[in-house]
Amino acid sequence: MTDRLERCPTGIEGLDVLISGGFPRSRTILVLGGCGTGKTAFGLEFVYNGALKYNEAGIFVALEQNPKLLRMDVLGMGYDLEKVEKDGKLRIIDGSLSRRGPEAIIKSRVSPSELPTVVLPEKFKMDDVSKKILEVAKQINAKRVVIDSISSISEIICGGSDVRNTLLDLHYALQDAELTSIMILDTVDDESIITKGAVEEYVADGVILLKTNEALNTRTLRIKKLRGTKHTLKPNTFELTANGIRVG
């Protein structure tokens, strides 16, 4: 059967062959995992490869980690974020806790002036994040967006149903803008807790679970769901290398 879905290749070595060439375009993929499983690296490589390999601009929304430190941390994996930012192929939206504190300290943490980072105000709502993503997407003709992480949404707003509705609104806004999106979610390693809040059912078109096995010193990636795509449910080992992620 011919695959009629337009695909957005991840460029991650060994992954696209498992998912018919990439994620379906304009869909939302949920990437789940515990601490140290490689979730941020996965999201960054998606937008970074988009810029370098496929000439597609992307947006990375940092709701937790300081972008300045993030740029430094990922250099060891071969991601030169500053280069693609200066080329206009990547825009970082900073909604991290690093924006809080005395003004002098905040200024020392933000990006150099030549990097066009979008810094959200100290107090913001999820509507502000959504609007800013759509605004930036038009400016740079973005095709990809990563939100790291949606776990922070529960700290921005209160109430389980509000979180679900907010995620739904965000999902449909990104879909209408024809953005292929990755939403990162921090979880414990127990899969029985992963579905708490039914995030997958109500939001995601795809769910990818990242895990670590400290005893075997391995990381695994499992595609739990990807609509419109034939895929295996078996875990695949992957590595974080000096040249990015390698699956298999």
Banded model confidence at residue 83, pLDDT cuts 50, 70, 90: very high
Q: Where are the domains of the chain?
A: 7-247
Domain 7-247 has CATH 3.40.50.300: yes
- For the stretch 125-166, pLDDT in tens is 888 899 999 999 999 999 999 999 988 876 676 555 577 788
Q: Is the pLDDT of residue 122 over 80?
A: no
pLDDT at site 102: 47
Question: What global pTM score does this model have?
Answer: 0.90
From edge to edge, which strands make up the β-sheet containing 236-241?
118-119, 90-94, 57-62, 142-148, 180-186, 28-33, 206-213, 218-226, 236-241, 244-247
Greater confidence (99 vs 80) lies with 80
Q: Which amino acid is at 47?
A: V
Per DSSP, the residues of the chain read: ----S-EE----BTTGGGTTTSEETT-EEEEEE-TTSSHHHHHHHHHHHHHHHS--EEEEEESSS-HHHHHHHGGGGT--HHHHHHTTSEEEEE-SGGG-S-HHHHHHHS--TTS-PEEPPSS--HHHHHHHHHHHHHHHTEEEEEEE-GGGHHHHS-SHHHHHHHHHHHHHHHHHTT-EEEEEEE--S-HHHHTTT-HHHHT-SEEEEEEEETTTTEEEEEEEEETT-----S-EEEEEETTEEEE-
Greater pLDDT, 105 or 143: 143
pLDDT at 13 over 80: yes
